[in-house]
Structure 1
Amino acid sequence: MIIALRSAVFALIAVPSISVIGTPVVLASPGGWPSGKSLVLSGAPSRIGLVLLVGILNPFVS
């Protein structure tokens, strides 16, 4: 169970880091917003899901 929690926490750190780099790249590329809008907008729900996953897994780790 601890491996699942550590993986979820790592993903919780990695997703915003990738978003910080990826969002300006999508916005700066020509014609990038229409094609990359779904990728940029999927960042918030994925972070919310990871926070919930970490919160669910946390009580199972002693």
Structure 2
Amino acid sequence: MTIIVQLLVFLLIILSTLLTVGIPVTLASPGQWEQSKNLIYTSAGIWAGLVIITGIFNSFII
């Protein structure tokens, strides 16, 4: 079970890093927001889901 939580945290860190770099670059680029809006919203939803799933799995670890 701890390996699953470690994998979820690793994925959360990777996605957080990508979003931290990707969102400002997208907002700073002219015309990119309209093209990348759905991708950013989807990535943010996946990030929120990972936070919730990681918390649920972490509650099972003693």
Q: TM-score range by the shorter chain?
A: 0.7 to 0.9
TM-score scaled to structure 1, two decimals? Answer: 0.77
**Alignment-derived partner of residue 52 in structure 1:** 52
**2 CA distance for matches of 1:57 and 1:49?**
12
Unaligned runs of 5+ in 1: none
TM-score scaled to structure 2, two decimals? Answer: 0.77
Deviations along 1:14-61, one digit per CA (max 9) or x if unpaired, are 222211100121122232111101122223311221111112211333
Amino acid at match of 1:19: L
Kept after mapping to 2: 8 A contact 1:8/1:50: yes
Percent of pairs with identical residues: 40
4+ residue runs of structure 1 moved beyond 3 angstroms?
Answer: none
Unaligned runs of 5+ in 2: none
Give the number of equivalent residue pairs. 62
The answer to whether residue 22 in structure 2 is matched with residue 27 in structure 1 is no
**What is the RMSD of the two structures over their aligned residues, measured on CA atoms?**
1.6
The answer to whether residue 33 in structure 2 is matched with residue 36 in structure 1 is no
